[in-house]
Amino acid sequence: MEHFDGRPVWHCSVSPKQKVKLACEVIARVGYGPVFCEDGATAIHLRRHLTDSEMSGVEVKDVRGTPEEAARLAPVRQYLPLGWSESR
């Protein structure tokens, strides 16, 4: 789980950038407070703080480079641009 301003956040990366309006509508259904928007080279990154109830019972861990990451990425890989890599 990612942290922003010291609190855990929902994080959504959107590409193509034309889908930002839809992503903002979706992320507005969870968490609280403003949606933080960062314009990346190939995607827009949206973040919004989790509520206290959303955080309760949540295990915070980094899955990058693990079999869990591969399992989570497999269903969406077909939607990624040709040549996209997890390494930044």
- What pLDDT band is residue 84 in, cutting at 50, 70 and 90? low
How do the residues of the chain divide into helix, strand and coil, expressed in percent and rounded to 5? 30, 30, 45
Mind listing the pLDDT tens digit for each residue in 16-47? 877 888 888 889 999 999 999 998 888 889 99
- What pLDDT band is residue 85 in, cutting at 50, 70 and 90? low
Residue 64 has pLDDT above 90, yes or no: no
What's the burial of 8, exposed, middle or buried (CB within 10 Å: 0-12/13-18/19+)?
middle
Q: Is the pTM of this model over 0.85?
A: no
Question: Which residue would you say has higher pLDDT here, 34 or 5?
Answer: 34
Question: Which residue would you say has higher pLDDT here, 23 or 87?
Answer: 23
What's the burial of 87, exposed, middle or buried (CB within 10 Å: 0-12/13-18/19+)?
exposed
